[in-house]
């Protein structure tokens, strides 16, 4: 998943991403990996604030849209701004999923699921890797 094309405002070479990110961050953000469930630093965070892309700093989600899904990863029912993320059909692992990427740098964030029955306004669950984000508490 080396996004060096001109579709993203933030452009870096693969070598630059490897230098900027830890090996675990690189594996998730640039190679569409997934961190293990229930180990991410933001899985159970309830503090108010903003979640931004760990790779480029673009705002992605806000705490008021986060909910306890008990799935093992931070869950949100809507991104901060619809144009802040992009959606890619993902047919890996023998299932149809929708990958969520940062629209600013193309980094993999997680997946979005619909119709699972959570009591949220959108009936969606953005299942996002903690390692894909940085959290800034509200001041």
Q: Is the pLDDT of residue 3 over 60?
A: no
Sign of CA dihedral 84, 139, 75, 119: negative
Where in the chain are the domains? 14-137
Catalytic residue among 53, 102, 105, 127: 127
10: phi then psi, degrees, rounded to nearest 5? -95, 120
Cα angle: 89, vertex 95, 100; to 5 degrees: 35
CA distance 29 to 33: 7
Region of 136 please: left (phi>0), alpha (psi -120 to 50) or beta. beta
pTM given for the model: 0.91
Are 28 and 35 contacting, i.e. CB atoms less than 8 angstroms apart?
Answer: yes
pLDDT, tens digit, 9 for 90 and up, residues 80-96: 998 999 999 988 777 88
CATH code at 14-137: 2.170.150.20
What pLDDT was estimated at residue 2? Answer: 43
> Residues 14-73: pLDDT tens digits?
999 999 999 999 999 999 999 999 999 999 999 999 999 999 999 999 999 999 999 999
Q: Is 102 a catalytic residue?
A: no
Please tell me the distance from the alpha carbon of residue 22 to that of residue 70, in angstroms, as a whole number. 27
- What is the per-residue DSSP string for 70-96? -SSS-EESS-SSGGGEEEEEE-GGGS-
């Amino acid at each position: 998943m080396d996004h060096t094309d001109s579709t993203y405002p933030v452009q870096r070479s693969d070598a630059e991403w490897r230098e900027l990110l830890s090996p675990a961050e690189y594996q998730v953000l640039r190679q569409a990996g997934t961190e293990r469930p229930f180990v991410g630093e933001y899985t159970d965070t309830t503090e108010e604030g903003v979640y931004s892309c760990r790779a480029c700093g673009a705002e992605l989600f806000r705490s008021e849209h986060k909910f306890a899904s008990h799935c093992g990863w931070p869950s949100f029912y809507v991104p901060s701004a619809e144009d802040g993320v992009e959606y890619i059909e993902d047919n890996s692992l023998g299932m149809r999923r929708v990958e969520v990427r940062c629209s600013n740098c193309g980094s993999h964030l997680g997946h979005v699921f619909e119709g699972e029955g959570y009591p949220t306004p959108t009936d969606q669950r953005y299942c996002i890797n903690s390692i894909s984000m940085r959290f800034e508490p509200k001041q």
